[in-house]
Copies of this chain bind each other. A is one copy, B any other.
Amino acid sequence: MPTVSLHFPPPILAFDIFGTVVDWHGSIVRELAALHPQVDGNAFALAWREGYRPAMQRVMSGELGWTSIDRLHRMILDELLPRFGLDALGEDERRHLNRAWHRLDPWPDTIEGLTRLRTRYTLCTLSNGNIGLLTRMAKRAGLPWDCILSAEVFRRYKPDPGVYLGLAELFEQAPSDVTLVAAHHDDLAAARTCGLRTAYIERPLEFGPTRPKDVSPVPENTWHARDLLHLAEQLGC
């Protein structure tokens, strides 16, 4: 038999996005400063994000049918605007503001870190964000994904096991051959329960400078990295 490359295909790294790869807090603050400078951008960003889990919970409990993150973000936004004196915003302005989540900026280490990791790994998104959002974010920010995967493909939100196991199944890989990279211990813990390996990324400023995050290591994670460059270093990229 001729020689067959055992290195193809490269193993899979699956990435959480909001907070792990992109700085949602700083980017929403930036959008608010440009569009509505009179608003407290820090408070606005935190309030918008606080609505995120309860909104997904309404989908996962069955109270709402399948609803994309774009639509959930919009529902939260519509509730939020009067609190910040922005209830006069028209439909076009609301739609534009809602798409701020498509325009999130990467952390300073993200592009170089992903580019290095991509030389030896297959890089997938594994986000609760919808495919349209993730694709537009990647296109604008230059995120070098091999594949855009989303909770939307599986019609359930992380930390539902079906998302982690669904990704492994799509690639016909054992869960232990997939590594989830995230800045959130609950996401990583759920992935571990499904048999995935896990890499924690410290993002102490995920919630902005007024609310620093505890980024202490959890020994259950396979890797613990300061940022994506540090992960690349540990993975020999």
Residue ranges of A at the interface with B (Cβ–Cβ < 8 Å):
1-2, 4, 8-10, 34-35, 70, 93, 96, 102-103, 122, 124, 130-132, 134-136, 138-140, 146-149, 152-153, 170-172
Say yes or no: B102 contacts A9, CB within 8 Å.
yes
Taking the closest CB of chain B, its distance from the CB of A139, in whole angstroms, is 5
Q: A122-B139, A140-B9, A148-B147 are in contact. Are A170 and B132 (CB under 8 A)?
A: yes
Say yes or no: B122 contacts A1, CB within 8 Å.
no
Q: Which residue of B lies closest to A118 (CB)?
A: B139
Say yes or no: A122 contacts B140, CB within 8 Å.
no
Report 23 cross-chain contacts, Cβ distance below 8 Å, ordered by A residue.
Answer: A2-B34, A2-B35, A8-B103, A8-B136, A9-B102, A9-B136, A9-B139, A9-B140, A10-B139, A70-B172, A122-B135, A131-B170, A131-B171, A134-B147, A135-B147, A135-B171, A138-B146, A138-B147, A139-B146, A146-B148, A148-B148, A152-B170, A153-B153
Taking the closest CB of chain B, its distance from the CB of A152, in whole angstroms, is 7
Say yes or no: B146 contacts A135, CB within 8 Å.
yes
Q: In whole angstroms, what is the CA distance A9 to B9 when docked?
A: 31
Say yes or no: B9 contacts A130, CB within 8 Å.
no
Q: In whole angstroms, what is the CA distance A146 to B9 when docked?
A: 19
17 additional A-B pairs beyond A4-B96, A135-B171, beta carbons within 8 Å, are A2-B34, A2-B35, A8-B136, A8-B140, A9-B102, A9-B136, A9-B139, A9-B140, A10-B139, A122-B139, A132-B170, A135-B146, A135-B147, A138-B147, A139-B146, A148-B148, A152-B170
Among A1, A134, A170, max chain B CB count under 10 A is at A170
